[in-house]
């Protein structure tokens, strides 16, 4: 099995990962969705879906429902209670295909298609 590491979609303050950040990334044979408001953080870890076929992965987090949820191919995969407050937007870039890194590394070794970031 090929293990891919790297960011798929990342937004956050460089050097301050616990400050208003979110990230969907492949890491160590797993997918990880990370969300932080600067004081609290949510993390969902789930198996890497690399079987050579395209997969549809959606990560959501809602203050209204109080849940952080991962969907895979249209089906709910995992959901946890949201412990994170409001994420403040910053002027930093939204990175697609790159992880959170001040040195510019953490490239995703694969294809990313049809990214949407809704707030």
CATH (domain of 31)? 2.60.120.200
The model's pLDDT over 79-114, given as tens digits with 9 standing for 90+, comes to: 999 888 887 766 777 777 776 655 556 667 677 777
Query: What gap in Å lies between CA 26 and CA 88, rounded to an integer?
Result: 24
| Count: domains in the chain | 1
pLDDT at residue 2, as a whole number: 45
Whether 110 maps to a domain, the answer reads no
Whether 119 maps to a domain, the answer reads no
Q: Which of 45, 41, 37 is nearest to 20 (CA)?
A: 37
- pTM confidence score: 0.74
Whether 87 maps to a domain, the answer reads yes
The model's pLDDT over 25-67, given as tens digits with 9 standing for 90+, comes to: 777 777 888 888 878 888 888 876 666 677 788 888 888 999 9
Domain that holds residue 66: 6-96
How far, rounded to the nearest angstrom, does the alpha carbon of residue 71 sit from its chain's CA centroid? 12
Whether 85 maps to a domain, the answer reads yes
Whether 27 maps to a domain, the answer reads yes
Whether 104 maps to a domain, the answer reads no
Q: Average per-residue pLDDT in the chain?
A: 76
Whether 45 maps to a domain, the answer reads yes
């Amino acid at each position: 099995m090929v293990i891919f590491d790297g960011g798929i979609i990342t937004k956050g303050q460089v050097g301050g990962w616990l400050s208003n950040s979110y990230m969907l990334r492949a890491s160590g044979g797993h997918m990880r969705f990370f969300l932080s408001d600067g004081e609290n953080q949510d993390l969902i870890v789930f198996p890497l879906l690399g079987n050579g076929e395209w997969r549809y992965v959606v990560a959501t987090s809602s203050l209204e429902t109080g849940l952080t949820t991962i969907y895979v191919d249209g089906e709910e995969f995992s959901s946890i209670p949201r412990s994170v407050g409001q994420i403040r937007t910053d002027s930093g870039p939204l990175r697609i295909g790159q992880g959170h890194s001040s040195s510019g590394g953490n490239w995703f070794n694969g294809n990313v298609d049809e990214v949407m970031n809704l707030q």
